Structure 1
Amino acid sequence: MADKSRPRKLSVYLYIPNIIGYIRVLMNCIAFALCFSNKKLFSILYFISFVCDGLDGWCARKFNQVSTFGAVLDMVTDRISTACLLVILSQVYKPGLIFLSLLALDIASHWLQMYSTFLLGKASHKDVKDSTNWLFKAYYGNRMFMAYCCVACEVLYIILFLLAENQNENMMDVLMNSAKQSSLLSFLLALSLFGWAIKQAVNIIQVKTAADVCVLYDINRKQRP
């Protein structure tokens, strides 16, 4: 008997936002393959891939092609691409532990948030309306604010990668010298650092909030008769 679900599964894989997701993966693969031989091309491809992160969401809503697979593909692509860039930065700058710590925080916060969302039976990890933290609610409740923080974070990492001329650079020295040379770059760094700081604060809040959900879930389960 033929599997009647196969055409339906294929149609989900061929959703426009999911195709954009595949293109993002391909661009990231090419970008990281060229990251040390052609920094400018890497930065362009990486940033275009990041911009497509917003485009696929818009297409999903526009064409009514929202899917769980697409949401997972989107998040996994985001996390892996950011993780790879942070690993590269950890090899370029000292102390590299800073970037590895940021990587650990990023993965931990999103993984815990996704798992806590599953425990609460919510449809999206962005549903934080019941949170008591104003910054957490503002981040996920305002699409433009969240977009600014995410873009600022990625732009800062790209700038840091472009500014590094050798391995084992001192990050603070590179930032200070670059800011002195250009007022435009100084402004861009300040704007990016502000958004980056907010995103890291949200990640920390997210770890604590999601951990509390997991603990309360265990407590409530043990109290059931």
Structure 2
Amino acid sequence: MAEARNIDGVNGSGQKQVSTFGAVLDMVTDRISTACLLVILSQVYRPGMVFLSLLALDIGSHWLQMYSTFLLGKASHKDVKDSTNWLFKAYYGNRMFMAYCCVACEVLYISLFLLAQNETEKKLMDVLKASITEGSLVSVVVVLSLFGWAIKQLVNIIQMKTAADVCVLHDINKKERP
């Protein structure tokens, strides 16, 4: 059994403890579920590269974040209190905000899949325009999800750059040591 550490989350007794294995497994399952949705959407819509690019951003930014966390010796990839970016700190510092953004992202992808079932033309922008003018429940969900999705993508970009900077600085410092 993995050692319990104060990393991220709450166990059944209300104590803030999660195993390292559990924290990594949680991130991996999140990435896999998002990857499945994005790969399916890349086959349903044109241009499919939009969804594959989002997949690369999601996996790349999270991998770099985990790696930089390891290099810094931090217990959690969500420990960003030393970051200078206000959005990055707000995202990881407010669990409700982060949950909204993550759920909005997944809901948007599922909604896009549902919208494509009724369309003969599978161009992403055409389906989005048609669904918004139609005003269906799925269309409302898409519109409500767009803000959280956009914030999550911005955070992924910030996360990737911040983590890459940590990796580069680590390499530079390593070379300067005798």
Residue type at the aligned position of 2:71: L
1:130 to 82, 106, 114: 82
Percent sequence identity is 78
Offset of 1:173 from its aligned partner? 1.2
TM-score under structure 1 normalisation? Answer: 0.71
- C-alpha offsets along residues 36-86 of structure 1, whole Å, 9 cap, x if unaligned? xxxxxxxxxxxxxxxxxxxxx444562665111111111111001100110
Task: Tell me whether 1:201 sits opposite 2:154 in the alignment.
Answer: yes
Structure 1 range deviating more: 174-183 or 66-75: 174-183
Counterpart CA distance in 2 for 1:111 and 1:60 is 28
Offset of 1:184 from its aligned partner? 4.7
8 Å contact 2:41–2:113 — kept in the other structure? Answer: yes
The structure carrying a bigger helix percent of its residues is 1
Counterpart CA distance in 2 for 1:180 and 1:212 is 43
Offset of 1:208 from its aligned partner? 0.6
The equivalent of 2:62 in structure 1 is: 110
Residue type at the aligned position of 2:109: Y
The equivalent of 2:124 in structure 1 is: 171
- C-alpha offsets along residues 103-151 of structure 1, whole Å, 9 cap, x if unaligned? 0000000000000000000000000000001111111011111011101
Which structure carries more relative contact order (alpha carbon 8 Å, separation 6+)? 2
Counterpart CA distance in 2 for 1:128 and 1:64 is 18
Distance 1:61 1:99, change over 3 A: farther
Unmatched tracts of structure 2, length 5 or more: none
The equivalent of 1:97 in structure 2 is: 49
**Count, aligned residues:** 174
Distance 1:71 1:108, change over 3 A: same
Counterparts of residues 172-187 of structure 1 (less than 5 Å): 172-182=125-135, 184-187=137-140
The equivalent of 2:101 in structure 1 is: 149
Residue type at the aligned position of 1:194: F
Structure 1 range deviating more: 122-131 or 185-194: 185-194
Task: Tell me whether 1:88 sits opposite 2:33 in the alignment.
Answer: no
Counterpart CA distance in 1 for 2:96 and 2:127 is 30
Structure 1 range deviating more: 212-221 or 184-193: 184-193
* Root-mean-square deviation (Å): 2.3
Unmatched tracts of structure 1, length 5 or more: 1-8, 16-56
TM-score under structure 2 normalisation? Answer: 0.89
Counterpart CA distance in 1 for 2:108 and 2:167 is 33
Q: Name which one, 1 or 2, has greater alpha-carbon Rg.
A: 1
Distance 1:128 1:64, change over 3 A: closer
Task: Tell me whether 1:210 sits opposite 2:163 in the alignment.
Answer: yes
Offset of 1:176 from its aligned partner? 1.3
8 Å contact 1:59–1:65 — kept in the other structure? Answer: yes
Offset of 1:186 from its aligned partner? 4.1
